[in-house]
Amino acid sequence: MSGKFCVLCGKQNVELIDSLCADCYVKSKKLIEVPKRITGKYCKICGAQWIKGKWIRTSATSLASVVEDIIIREVGNKIDIDKNVEEFAFDIKSIWKDPSGNSFATIEFRGNVRGKPFSQEAIISLEMERTLCDSCFRKKTRYYEAIVQLRSKGKIGIDDKKRAFFESFFSTSIVDNISDVIEGREGVDYYFMSKSVARKLISMISSIVDVEVNESYQNEKMKNGKREAKLVISLRI
């Protein structure tokens, strides 16, 4: 602004921000407010993340990248950025532990104020809970609500072609829902953690090919005043 000067360095005829030139503004202001600590929770088996009260699978391909995802998301949600900062970005420089085993992340923040670039680093304490998501816990304990018994029409046993055909209907969500697979003399039993997933699979197959389907229940009991039982679906191909 013509005729005005920076109150810190005295520079004249420059654009001012709160009575400071861009250089002095960057040097004297706290441009980024960074959280001292971030927390997160993830499944130590499949890498699902606990986000807003739900277990969610992300595109992360390793547990290390899961931790990075959590850091980036939580830092992005919790930082406070000066309104004059433009072209803001940040990266994880390193994740490390101190001699006591406490975890930390070193983060580099970058941006500019009216064309004046800046960068700053911050060390953030990490509290990451490694646990089991609901799905992996159920798999570990072999929890199930339904059994799909794959059988052949008119004979004992199931051949590889029929089994491969049946399993060709498996999506990722169906595979994730299976807690156990037991091969026997009469065929193959698939243990599903959800009755609805098992029923949807059978409905999809029976709408395409001629199969025999029978439902029954086992291990019936009362729990909290409600009748509970394991669903058994016999599927003959």
pLDDT, one tens digit per residue, over 146-191 is 999 999 988 888 888 899 999 999 998 898 899 999 998 899 999 9
Instruction: List CB contacts of 43: < 8 A, sequence separation 6 or more.
Output: 49, 55, 130, 131, 132, 133, 136
Of the candidates 150, 184, 153, the residue with the CA atom closest to the CA atom of residue 169? 150
Query: Residues in the chain with pLDDT < 70?
Result: 1-3, 222-225
Residue percentage of the chain with pLDDT more than 90: 73
pLDDT for res 3: 61
pLDDT for res 155: 83
| Cα distance from N-terminal residue to C-terminal residue, the chain | 83
pLDDT for res 227: 73
Backbone φ and ψ of 206, nearest 5°: -70, -20
pLDDT for res 58: 86
pLDDT for res 1: 43
pLDDT for res 154: 81
Query: pTM for this structure?
Result: 0.71
The domain locations on the chain are 22-131, 142-236
Convert the pLDDT of each residue in 136-147 to its tens digit: 998 999 999 999
Write out the two tokens for 79. Answer: 């930082």
